[in-house]
Amino acid sequence: MTAPRLSIHDHMVELADTTRCRLLVAVERQELTVGELALALQLPQSTVSRHLRILADQAWVSSRAEGTSRWYRRNPLLDAHMLGLWELVRGAMADTPAALQDEARIEAVVASRRTATQAFFASASAEWDALRTDMFGARADLTAAFALLDPHTVIGDLGCGTGSLSAALAPHVHHVHAIDASSSMLSAASARLSSFENVTVAEGALEALPLETGALDAAVLMLVLHHVADPARALREVHRVLRPAGRLLIADMRPHAHERYREQMGHVWLGFSDDTLRAWLHDAGFERPHYVPLPVDPNASGPALFSCTAVAMPRPLMVV
């Protein structure tokens, strides 16, 4: 047998009590805990808990647990009979002195949450970066920012190294092509990226990428161009594998004088200036270059970095 359908008369008993009506008004616009409701309505917590239990049993309120607290709100899925009855009761209570007093105290309770947060940041601002890093890891903000990417994007991590950038990009895009000329690097990248079904790891030089023409929506050259023997040729090849209007991001070192990097780490180039990069990008078929010197990390021992973005212009039609 199905349960009998309740009418508006069956719900009147729950709203016959003023305290329960005040509680419903309080949790109509925001979630509140028992302690906050007791403070706002100036009632003992035991009284608040008892009336909330009655309202919850009859589905007037819903709640959720968060840590050691339980948050209450008016049930957003009231049936038509309950909603009609509540509108009548709510209208009768509106603008009464008691209701206005409750509303003012509820606003004060909610405002006290902001005050506690503001007090924390006022005292912790100097240590906040270190605290956030300790809690969430270094630059969790940048990792989350990859969610701004179009989820349909096909991206090339060109010179992927051990695959750390590909691993950060993969959850947010359609496909990542992780390509590097070093078999040792690719071995490490393959191990790191093995759990991602939307990542392809392949060996290839920037001057001869193992990709079809127009295969990528975006390409990233992260700290790799200074290792390339012929950057201009490499950029032409990157242009080939980008679709028209595809985007290129280069991050690398600004010009520096650390000659030892040539012998110690196989660097071919000692950084790149804005003018040099603009000329190479123009010749390779890119437009709208945007070169930005990046903030210097005080804990980093290497040269200062830059980022440079550009857009692939359409390829000229071949005349037969």
Q: What is the CATH number for 123?
A: 1.10.10.10
Question: Looking at the domain assignment, is residue 317 inside a domain?
Answer: no
Residues 91 and 161 in one domain: no
Distance CA 30, CA 78 (A): 16
Residues 150 and 29 in one domain: no
pLDDT tens by residue, the chain, 320 residues: 444 455 555 667 778 888 999 999 999 888 999 999 998 899 999 999 999 999 999 899 999 988 888 899 999 888 888 888 888 888 888 888 888 888 888 888 888 777 766 665 666 556 766 766 777 777 677 788 888 999 999 999 999 999 999 999 999 999 999 999 998 899 999 999 999 999 999 999 999 999 999 999 999 999 999 999 899 999 999 999 999 999 999 999 999 998 998 888 889 899 999 999 999 999 999 999 999 999 888 778 889 999 999 999 987 654 44
Number of domains in the chain: 2
- Could you list the residue range(s) of the whole structural domain that residue 24 is in? 8-131
Q: Which amino acid is at 61?
A: V
Residues 180 and 80 in one domain: no
Residues 125 and 142 in one domain: no
Residues 87 and 27 in one domain: yes
Q: Provide CB contacts within 8 A for 160, sequence distance 6+.
A: 166, 178, 179, 180, 185, 186, 189, 201
Residues 153 and 34 in one domain: no
Residues 165 and 291 in one domain: yes
**What's the pTM value of the predicted model, to 2 decimals?**
0.63
Residues 270 and 146 in one domain: yes
Residues 181 and 110 in one domain: no
Please give the structure tokens belonging to residue 198: 């939307």
Which pLDDT does position 225 carry in this prediction?
94
The residue count of the chain comes to 320
**Pick from 145, 185, 204: nearest CA to 169:** 145
Residues 177 and 279 in one domain: yes
Distance CA 309, CA 152 (A): 20
Question: Is residue 48 within 8 Å of 22, Cβ to Cβ?
Answer: no
Q: Which helix (H) or strand (E) holds 243?
A: strand 242-253
Question: Is residue 84 within 8 Å of 8, Cβ to Cβ?
Answer: yes
Residues 162 and 263 in one domain: yes
Q: Which amino acid is at 28?
A: E
Which pLDDT does position 3 carry in this prediction?
46
Residues 242 and 93 in one domain: no
